Structure 1
Amino acid sequence: MSDVSIRQRLASGAATLGLTLSDQAFSQFETLVSELQRWGKRINLTSVLESDEIVKTHLLDSLTAAPHLAGDQTLDIGTGAGFPGLPLAIINPQRQFTLLDGNGKKISFVNHMIATLGLSNAIAIKARAEDYAPANPFDTVIARALATVPRLVEISAHLVREDGQLLALKGKHPAAELEDLTAFPEWEYSVSKLTVPFLEAHARHVVSLRRK
């Protein structure tokens, strides 16, 4: 898939999501795709290495979370190869992003991408969420396919500001997981359906959790 078609696919998908990408953002996304492929041949970053699949399953899937962000400080836990944190940082230069993962090789890649893309609004830290102790909690903590919803609350509640939110990006509606939230009565939640452009047949949901 050429850079032109990557740009076309991104432009079409972003428009479906109500997003307008700048020329700089397009260039950054193209670089992210090529570097993910280059690094992915050497280390296990992701099983998805074909350009069109990267655009759909990593970039556009990450961007579906954009309307749900709140506040200036966002923490992406279990970011892996930088998703959803890197795409969200690219289109939100006014927000600060911290990308967290316990895998050193993946954090090396994320640090490389932050430097290569010139993302002054992003940092990467090698740590597990349950062990991370930042100076200040975050407005939004987000996780993409990392753990069950109750487990996310368990490992990241200390990272969410008192009036902040925890966003869990999930596949199918996690009804069974939500039933288990009774163990955390101080949290309330809402579920929104997400539609990923070009992956409409695949169920996607975001669970938004806040303290009562």
Structure 2
Amino acid sequence: MLKRALGELGQPYPEGAVEKFGALLDELEKWNRRVNLTAIRERREMVTAHMLDSLVARPLLEGTTILDVGTGPGFPGLPLAIAEPDRHFTLLDSNNKKIMFVQHAAGLLGLGNVTAVKGRSEDYAPGRRFDTVIARALATLPRLVEIAGHHVGEDGVFVALKGRYPAEELEQMSNKPWRHAVTELKVPGLEQGSRHAVLLRRA
């Protein structure tokens, strides 16, 4: 099921990636029975809502340093790190249990390109900015740039993954020093128009 779904996405994957995607879902299911990491329990739904919904953002990544803000149990960061071993991913979340899972999964899968950090985006001070900052269903666009915009490098991009076209939020961005572009994302298994990405750059 996973292999077929990944095939529908039409992306090339490095050697061993498909097995790692499967192992990641296995661990998520295992942990989820003991610790509530995600409301999604069904394997089929996990494939669509976690794996494919993360990987669909892969073509939008820029540069070599990626910050996943509010990663939860590692989505989209972990699937993207598996698919992009030459990029470095920092996965940030304030929930201790979720970051413990991210650390465990990254170690288990041998993901040397992942750093897991427990903390809030507002307080996180890594001493550098990132080529891409990505956030999935975390907050409204104005709130996102308020709490995480400072992490975006001068020529970097903030990829905000959204559901339906966020017309109202985009209106609220009109007085912010950010220009935006919106692209529809096609996730196999989800209806058309249900996923969008807003790409924010400094104006």
**Superposition TM-score tier, normalisation by shorter sequence:** over 0.9
Name the CA distance, whole Å, in 1 between partners of 2:55 and 2:82.
10
1:136 matched to 2:128: yes
Instruction: Give the C-alpha shift of residue 174 in structure 1.
Output: 0.5
1:13/1:198 contact within 8 Å kept: no
How many percent of aligned residue pairs carry the same amino acid? 53
Q: Matched residue of 1:86: which SS? A: helix
Q: One-letter code of the match for 2:181?
A: S
Q: One-letter code of the match for 1:122?
A: V
Name the CA distance, whole Å, in 2 between partners of 1:61 and 1:106.
19
Corresponding residue number in structure 1 for 2:178: 187
Q: One-letter code of the match for 1:7?
A: K
Corresponding residue number in structure 1 for 2:8: 13
| Structure 1 length-normalised TM | 0.93
Deviations 1:5-49 (A, max 9, x none): 322332x2332xxx1224410110110111000000111110112
2:159/2:197 contact within 8 Å kept: yes
| Structure 2 length-normalised TM | 0.97
Corresponding residue number in structure 1 for 2:109: 117
Moved over 2 A (4+): 5-10
Name the CA distance, whole Å, in 1 between partners of 2:52 and 2:31.
20
1:34 to 22, 26, 43: 26
Name the CA distance, whole Å, in 2 between partners of 1:157 and 1:194.
22
Q: One-letter code of the match for 1:31?
A: A
Corresponding residue number in structure 2 for 1:198: 189
Q: How many residues align?
A: 203
Corresponding residue number in structure 1 for 2:44: 52
Name the CA distance, whole Å, in 2 between partners of 1:157 and 1:182.
15
Q: One-letter code of the match for 1:190?
A: A
Q: Matched residue of 1:114: which SS? A: helix
Change (3 A) 1:22 1:72: closer
2:89/2:113 contact within 8 Å kept: yes
Q: One-letter code of the match for 1:8?
A: R
Q: Matched residue of 2:73: which SS? A: coil
Instruction: Give the C-alpha shift of residue 199 in structure 1.
Output: 1.1
The runs of 5 or more residues in structure 2 that have no matched partner are: none
The runs of 5 or more residues in structure 1 that have no matched partner are: none
Greater helix content = 1
RMSD over aligned CA atoms reads 1.1
Name the CA distance, whole Å, in 1 between partners of 2:193 and 2:43.
19
Counting only pairs closer than 5 Å after superposition, residues 41-80 of structure 1 correspond to structure 2 as: 41-80=33-72
Deviations 1:31-88 (A, max 9, x none): 0111000000111110112111111110001011001000100000000010000010
2:5/2:188 contact within 8 Å kept: no
Instruction: Give the C-alpha shift of residue 111 in structure 1.
Output: 0.3
Name the CA distance, whole Å, in 1 between partners of 2:159 and 2:55.
13
Q: Matched residue of 2:184: which SS? A: strand
Q: Matched residue of 1:197: which SS? A: coil
Name the CA distance, whole Å, in 2 between partners of 1:56 and 1:137.
31
Corresponding residue number in structure 1 for 2:198: 207
Instruction: Give the C-alpha shift of residue 158 in structure 1.
Output: 1.2
